[in-house]
Structure 1
Amino acid sequence: MRYLITGGSGSGKSAYAEEIASSLGLPVYYLATMQAYGEEGKKRVKRHRLLRSGRNFHTIEKSLTVSEVTVPKESVVLLECLSNLLANEMFDPKGIGADGLVNGVLRQVELLSEKTTHLIVVSNDIGFDGNSYDEGTSLYIKALGELHTRLAEGFEHVVEVVCGISLNHKGPRSVNEVMSK
């Protein structure tokens, strides 16, 4: 099964995704994509590591070309998060760059999905504030929206988390229903 879990910053989407991952009864490989820039970035990475400690997650830190990771077929991969991966692939000199970005990242997610029993992709909802942005940021926001749309078409579960409340747009209506599958 494949899950796309979106939400705003601090919405509870990561905790929800971790709960789903833990409930599936298989080893969980936590694929962390954030590149820690500056003190704030380092603090966020440290906070996420602390939140995962003691949860029996196997953490893999990979900010680019996530399809290269090796995981057992009988496993859960929790990709945290798509929006970081997209930014890394777009702006990092070693990344895909703007040309072919959406298809390139989509292909990485597809290849990753083929390696595992369950794939959970966490991503940020951005671009709803009505502000105008520079060209690079606008291209990023548009690419993220397209990725969400294309993944949602093929994934069995699509969930938006708002204020810690899950809003299921596709698939079971509650975490208990997901866990009973």
Structure 2
Amino acid sequence: MERASHPQGGTVLPQIILVTGGARSGKSRHAEARARGLPGERVYIATARADDDEMRARIARHIADRGDGWTTIEAPVDLVGALDRSDGRGPRLVDCLTLWLSNLMLEGRDWEPEAAALVAALARQKSPVVMVSNEVGMGIVPDNALARAFRDAQGWLNQRVAAIADEVEFVVAGLPMRVKGPSPA
């Protein structure tokens, strides 16, 4: 995979960054900061669906928290298309892989070929991609088959994306921990 050089200093920029953690861990805020630190137009690829008042309020809070300076692309299921169409403009922030996977599964789509297509798309991107994903497998075993299938699929998806990522960070209580990649300068 070809890596972009930073316009100042010639250092190589990370191409694929995965930020994972639990609910309300601070992973989205950290991922936004990582994307802001990369040169170019910032593109926010949103996978959430505003299907109810609570989700609409969450989305509004996310928009307000990240502030101006972002172009938003809504991609609840066509994440690969959104990445390909926005490539070359600057860093993209995908928030989040967990909702994307949930949307696929709720539509009855086979998530595995979709995950393979995502990995292939990430490998061909020219501009950096920062992705947010929940770490869902650290709690109790769910009591129903759908929840267990989702938990397993999310774990496998995270593993596949982490395998090709240049950097992986795990956020706990707002504090990022580097799992993969170079130590920050």
Q: TM-score, normalised by structure 1?
A: 0.86
Aligned counterparts of 1:50 and 1:111: Cα–Cα separation in 2: 29
Residue 18 (1) aligns with residue 28 (2): no
Q: How does 1:96-111 map to 2 (within 5 A)?
A: 97=109, 99=110, 101-111=111-121
Change over 3 Å in CA distance of 1:109–1:36 after alignment to 2: farther
Q: How does 1:130-145 map to 2 (within 5 A)?
A: 130-145=140-155
Please identify, of 4-13 and 106-115, the stretch whose mean Cα deviation from structure 2 is larger. Answer: 106-115
Aligned counterparts of 1:2 and 1:38: Cα–Cα separation in 2: 32
Write the deviation string for residues 32-54 of structure 1: whole angstroms up to 9, x where unpaired: 00112322111111111111222
Q: Where does residue 6 of structure 2 map in the other structure?
A: none
Letter paired with 1:125 = E
Change over 3 Å in CA distance of 1:34–1:116 after alignment to 2: farther
Compute the RMSD of aligned alpha carbons. 1.6
Change over 3 Å in CA distance of 1:109–1:41 after alignment to 2: farther
Residue 62 (1) aligns with residue 75 (2): yes
Q: Where does residue 92 of structure 1 map in the other structure?
A: 107
SS in 1 for 2:86: coil
Aligned counterparts of 1:76 and 1:24: Cα–Cα separation in 2: 6
| 4+ residue segments displaced more than 4 Å | none
Q: Where does residue 93 of structure 2 map in the other structure?
A: 78
Q: Where does residue 173 of structure 2 map in the other structure?
A: 163
Letter paired with 2:95 = E
Identical columns (%) = 29
Letter paired with 1:105 = A
User: Aligned to 2:136, which of 120, 126, 129?
Assistant: 126
Letter paired with 1:76 = P
User: Aligned to 2:55, which of 22, 28, 41?
Assistant: 41
The answer as to whether partners of 2:18 and 2:131 remain within 8 angstroms in 1 is yes
SS in 2 for 1:30: strand
Number of equivalenced pairs: 169
Which consecutive unaligned segments of at least 5 residues does structure 1 have? none
